Amino acid sequence: MLKGLTKDEVQQRIQEGKINALEVKITRSYKDIFKSNVFTFFNLMNVILFVLIVMVKSYRNGLFFLTIIANTCVGIFQEIRSKRVLDRLAIITMNKIEVLRDEERIILPIDQLVLDDVVIIKAGMQVPSDAMILDGKLEVNESLLTGESVPQLKTINQELFSGSVVTSGEATCQIIHVGKDNYSSKIIQEAKKFKGITSDLKKSIDSILKIISIIIIPLGSLLFANQYFMLHFTLKEAVVKTVAALIGMIPEGLVFLTSVALAISVIRLAQKKTLVQDLYCVETLARVDTLCLDKTGTLTEGKMKVIESFKIEDINLDEIMGNYCSIFPDGNATSLALSASYKTFNNYTCVDKLDFSSDRKYSAITFEKEGTYCLGAAQFLFPQQNEIIEIAQKYASQGFRVIFLGKSEKGIINNQISDAIPLAYMLIRDQIRPTAKATIEYFYKQDVTCKIISGDDPATVSNIAKSVGVKDTDNYVDASQYTDEELSKLILERTIFGRVTPYQKKLFVESLQKAGHVVAMTGDGVNDVPALKKANASIAMASGSDAAKNASNIVLLDSDFSSLPSVVNEGRRVINNIRSASSMFLIKTAFSVVLSILTVLLSQAYPFQPIQLTVIGIFSIGVPTFLLQFEPNFQRVDGKFLRVAFRNAIPSAMAIVFGILLGMILHSFFNIPANMVSTFNAIQTGIIYTFTLYMVYSPLTKYRLVVIVSMQILLAFAFVFGANFLGLTSLTPEIIITIFIYSIISIGLVKGFKVIFESIIKSLGY
């Protein structure tokens, strides 16, 4: 009898460092968070610009640096807050295992295993550390290590590699390697970070920053040379105007707002018992248009009940099933339902057994003197017996899972049963989740197509799907009857798929993606892992297998499918609001770049001071977009991020540029003083920003109106009472009238430029 390690032996190994210490981290360390938020390229650029402002002693124009400090501090604070929430939630989903110590079975986290520990490994688990089988046998999928997806049978004295996924069986094993000596850390980490998230938001922002980083130094140099050498401004004036232009080009607020918005979303979802394992998957969920659902654990509760049983031959069904269930007492929902329905017997002696697997669709046991019995799906046990298959299909169409008991004379050969005859069958029914129908209705209202993909009989799946409101349930597909090429086409046309293998689930996801769909996949079993790894967004249940949780972007900690609408809504809220906010931030970037080029080409003074852009940015961009970020916005995300963002930004930026050119004309041809032109530029820029806020955030809600009006009142107060500080001056009646007239004209310009911009975009094929 195995006793396991003693307490003293465990302590000795811990002292020797022979512990399965994992280096996997779901979140970054505090040091990494601090470094990533402080030591950025754009922080460096702003520090340089601030130093230049300090050197020329124009301190008021260094106010922009307070915004940079605030952005950095808030970014650090939000990420630390998010880290603490996620770290606490991660404990809930931390992989644990049954360990034999001092002749007692206890449950421990896998990072507390030590060398030579005796552990019990079952179907659905990921092997936590290299181990040797002492008793029992397992089928394991070593594809994470070898790329070979065919399950391998492992028996006594054979080695298990950490990271392998157990597809069936149960075995008592001894740990032979720990920590850095095995594959655990790498494999589990790769399972958690199996793919990079395809984030249009992240790629778009990175593209903007990349372009700006390329042009900012040469354009800044030309601008300074123009102001200092061509226009003969003092060093102080030239530096201030150059810094103003460069500050305007940097959309540091957009980067900050995106990080904060995503971090807040992670915290919000955590409060709804949802663990987000990848920040940008929140955005990916906003773009999902196809949701692939596994019936078990999603539409149903994962609990089953035997409703009725029928004998085909004259057998002692209770005794056979009682002995069968004593060998397989635990496992999937079907075996649990059978164990609960038949009294346990122990009068048969097991000499060989074949565990159930999702590929094989049956299990088998050879009893001494009694022969070999098998239990599973009719199509796989009796493929040539049409009458039996018809019985299965009849009850499956009524929503039952039909489990057949058969007997084989040849027994288990090469992990297969080839000559089974039917003895009896049991009707088992899934318990449907009460919230499933409302959840399905939600996704249809959101224009998300639902595909039900299951390993069960397609008629059974169809019946259950129909009862919860899934559309097009009659034309179901038996995946075992079609080639890969045929299934790749059918997944685009049909809704219900049964008898689906793990490989085929992955094939379905790939086929949908090739057709241009953004696919989310839910699952809780080992057979869902290949598809979860391939999907754009993957969602696992906390009650599911370790492998499924490790392979998913999101884990539903309450294992409740009805949580998905709130997850999708959160993703849509984030991306829609950030997209609106980005339009406001990119106005400043666009007009700053264009004005910088124009001032160099026309040999004109740059029309703004840094302090003016800082104040306009605070009240017209930063504060309102931050406050409006929390507003519900659950519309489906359409189109590309940059196209939508620039659709609003470019027209307003061009209207501001035209206003600046008008100011240059007033200065050059009508001898309007430079400080008065500067005031004209600041006011007309603020007005265009105000109009753009109304345009971007239309239709106006009460909350939106309050935020926008409040910010514009504060901006007006800043212009009036902080005029000297901002470098503004009083205006003549003629200039006031000009501002009023151009304000009206600018509205038409913005709308006109928007039409032109849209036409150009369409002609380019975007």
- The boundaries of every CATH 2.70.150.10 domain in the chain are 7-25+96-192
The topology (CATH level 3) of 304-432 is Calcium-transporting ATPase, cytoplasmic domain N (3.40.1110)
By the 8 A CB rule, do 357 and 335 touch? no
Higher pLDDT, 325 or 430: 325
Tell me what the pLDDT averaged over the chain comes to.
85
Q: Is the peptide bond before 610 cis (omega within 30 degrees of 0)?
A: no
Is 334 in contact with 305 (CB distance < 8 Å)? Answer: no
Task: Please state, for a pLDDT cut of 70, what percent of the chain lies above it.
Answer: 91
Helix (H, G, I), strand (E, B) or coil at 539: strand
Q: State the Cα torsion 411-416-418-420 to the nearest 10°.
A: 60
CATH of domain 273-299+433-567: 3.40.50.1000
Distances in whole angstroms, Cα of residue 151 to Cα of each of 168, 361, 693: 9, 14, 58
Kindly report, residue by residue over 416-475, the tens digit of the pLDDT.
898 899 999 999 987 888 888 999 999 998 889 999 998 878 888 888 899 899 999 988
Question: What's the whole-number mean pLDDT along residues 233-241?
Answer: 92
pLDDT digits (tens, 9 = 90+) for 543-556: 766 667 777 888 88
Q: Where in the chain is the domain with CATH 3.40.50.1000?
A: 273-299+433-567
Residues near 31 by beta carbon (within 8 Å), at least 6 away in sequence: none
At the topology level, CATH places domain 7-25+96-192 in 2.70.150
Q: Is the pLDDT of residue 147 over 50?
A: no
Assign 193 a pLDDT band (cuts: 50, 70, 90): very low
Which residue, among 361, 413, 353, 347, has the nearest Cα to 389 in the 3D structure? 361
What strands lie across the sheet with 300-311, from one edge to the other? Answer: 300-311, 421-432, 400-408, 371-376, 362-367, 350-354
334-385 per-position pLDDT tens digit: 787 888 889 888 899 999 988 887 678 888 999 998 999 999 999 999 998 9
One-letter amino acid at 502 equals P
Asked whether 223 and 591 are in contact (CB, 8 A), the reply is: no
| Cα(376)–Cα(405) distance, integer angstroms | 7
What is the pLDDT, as a whole number, of residue 639?
Answer: 60
Q: What is the dihedral of CA 122, 127, 131, 135, to 10 degrees?
A: 10
Q: What is the pTM of this model?
A: 0.68
CB 419 within 8 A of CB 381: no
Catalytic sites, residue numbers: 294
Q: What is the mean pLDDT of residues 609-630?
A: 89
Please write the tens of the pLDDT for every residue from 689-711.
999 999 999 888 999 999 999 99
Closest CA to 329 of 363, 278, 300: 363
Quote the tokens at residue 698. 């239309």
Q: Do residues 679 and 731 make contact, with C-beta atoms less than 8 angstroms apart?
A: yes
Task: Give the C-alpha separation, 122 to 109, whole Å.
Answer: 15
Residue type at 739 in one-letter notation? I
d(CA 239, CA 248): 14
Question: pLDDT confidence of 23, banded at 50, 70, 90?
Answer: low
Q: Tell me the three state secondary structure of residue 469.
A: coil
